[in-house]
Structure 1
Amino acid sequence: MKRLKAFPLMMLSIFITITSFSQSGPAAKPTLFNNFPASIACNEPELERIFSITEGQQIAVVFQNGFTVNGTVTTNIVRYSNLQSVVIKSPQFDNAVFSISKVTNTDRSITYTGRIINQNYFDGYELKKDASGNYTLSKIETDKTLHTCNQQ
């Protein structure tokens, strides 16, 4: 009878051990923008300047708070009459990608959207426009923003 009690206890311990190992998540990613503030003000003339740089050219995009993105314009394409997109690859931030788009609205106003991300890091920035019409780079958690594709 004692052996019958020992067997279920042994099986329960094995099950708990296997379950605890299988639930351990992936290793935490490091942060890339740890030394920079959660929110960085942007000025529109500097954002507009990005769209005048051609593919292959170097650019330094200067934001407030001493934050600068240096890199190479890898793409500058007009997708539609009202949409232009630029991609900057920045070795300064371990080849992070700054992707920014300019949309010309029907009322001729301009809206900018963009992100600075590196899929190997936990954090990034998203370009947002507030209610007053001012643009800021706001820190984001890339794992909540980016979805990985599992190809088989």
Structure 2
Amino acid sequence: MKHPTLFIIIVLVTFFSATAFSQNTNGTKPQLFNSFPSKINCTEAELSKAFAGAVNQNINIAFSDNFLIDGTVTSNIVKYNNLQTVVIKSPLFADAIFVLSKITNRDNSITYVGRIINKKYFDGYELKKDNFNNYQLVKIETDRVMQDCSHN
């Protein structure tokens, strides 16, 4: 009877040690926005300013909570008559990319969607509406929203 119990213990120890060694702690990405709050309030007026920027133009978008996007417009495309997307690259945040889209709904109301992401960092922001229809940048984990397309 001792042999099956000893065998089970050895298998369990091997399994747990293999799991512990297979975890890669060296690949942890640093946080880019750790000094900023998890939610940053945004006004529609400030969001709309981004769409006036021309390609290669420097633009500043000042959100509440002392959060400023200062960067260069790398793309400003009108797709269809109801969709415009602007891309801003910000050297203030290690060349993070702010992608912001403006959707004109059928009732002529405007909806904004967007993200601030840098693939080299753990965190970013996603633009969302709160329960009171106010826009907020909400902190996200970039690896949870970006797909890894590498085939290792």
TM-score normalized by the length of structure 2: 0.85
**SS of residue matched to 1:89:** strand
Q: Aligned pair 1:72/2:69, yes or no?
A: no
Structure 2: unaligned runs, 5 residues or longer: 1-6
Count of residues in correspondence between the two structures: 144
Aligned pairs (5 A) from 1:59-98 = 59-98=59-98
Structure 1's 56 and 19: CA in aligned 2 closer, same or farther, altered over 3 A?
A: same
Aligned pairs (5 A) from 1:73-152 = 73-151=73-151
Identity of aligned pairs, percent?
52
Counterpart CA distance in 2 for 1:108 and 1:18 is 58
**Counterpart position of 1:44:** 44
Counterpart CA distance in 2 for 1:19 and 1:121 is 25
Q: How far off its partner does 1:144 sit?
A: 1.0
Counterpart CA distance in 1 for 2:18 and 2:35 is 39
Counterpart CA distance in 1 for 2:85 and 2:94 is 22
TM-score normalized by the length of structure 1: 0.85
Q: How far off its partner does 1:20 sit?
A: 4.3
Counterpart CA distance in 1 for 2:18 and 2:24 is 14
**SS of residue matched to 1:45:** helix
Aligned-residue CA RMSD in angstroms?
Answer: 2.2
Residue 103 of structure 1 aligns with an amino acid whose one-letter code is: I
Q: Kindly name which structure, 1 or 2, has the bigger radius of gyration based on alpha carbons.
A: 1
